[in-house]
Structure 1
Amino acid sequence: MKKLVGVGVFVRREPNDYVEQLRTSAMSVGTYSIPAGGLDDQAPHHEDEIYVVTTGRATLVTPGGTEAVGPGDVLFVPAGEEHRFTDVTEDLALLVFFAPPYSGR
């Protein structure tokens, strides 16, 4: 068992901040922070992702559509799908679960 402390807490670093807090052979967990008004510059990943919004508000844009997101929302993005957070109106903090573990940008 391992307790993760400080996971999902917004961290203000410019332009965005991703910190990995756990890595196993099957998955990884981290926190992604985007400040209000910030731009999400991520590219599609090789891993499936689950985002859990812990704080903030934004819009998730994918080829399949857009979705307004806020605290408590859980989002699934399959490996390889283009996606980006836009219209970040409040500092956004997301728990990010990758499976298999995140391999980098």
Structure 2
Amino acid sequence: MDDDSGSDIQVSLAQAAAHLSAAKPFKTFFEQGDAITVELYAPVGTDKQQPHERDELYVIASGHGTFSRGGEIVTFGPGDLLYVPAHVPHRFETFSDEFKTWVIFYGPKRTRPVT
């Protein structure tokens, strides 16, 4: 956690959410080189994210909605785990006002596959 306490052993959802705003809907709370990065993400209105260079996991902390990955669409709710490989288009298509998700990027950045 990057706060004044210097502790990275625990961050609560409430503590993490206090750092978010409509202008900045995500914040990084833990990072260890290319091994892992953990963020909290809470988009407002529209999810505008683009594909990423690393594999990622979403752990839904609160809220519900629909998520698209490539050509698939799934519904999600609290406690669900969603996986997205690097460079695959994805977004939260619909989501409730209280929606928040932990985002875990892991592994090295990967170059886009040649098609």
* Higher Rg of the two aligned structures: 2
In terms of fraction of residues, the more strand-rich structure is 1
Report TM bin, short chain: 0.7 to 0.9
Q: Which residue of 1 aligns with 2:38?
A: 29
What stretches of structure 1 move > 2 A for 4+ residues in a row? 6-12
Task: Say if 1:23 and 1:101, in contact at 8 Å, map to a contact too.
Answer: no
What TM-score, normalized to structure 1?
Answer: 0.82
Instruction: Give yes or no for the alignment of 1:54 onto 2:61.
Output: yes
Identical residues among aligned pairs (%): 30
| 3-state SS of paired residue (1:90) | coil
Q: 1:2 to 1:101 in 2, by over 3 A?
A: farther
Identify unmatched segments of 5+ residues in structure 2.
1-6, 110-115
Select the structure with the greater relative contact order (CA < 8 A; seq sep ≥ 6): 1
In terms of fraction of residues, the more helix-rich structure is 2
Count of residue correspondences: 100
CA-based RMSD of the aligned residues comes to: 2.3
Identify unmatched segments of 5+ residues in structure 1.
none
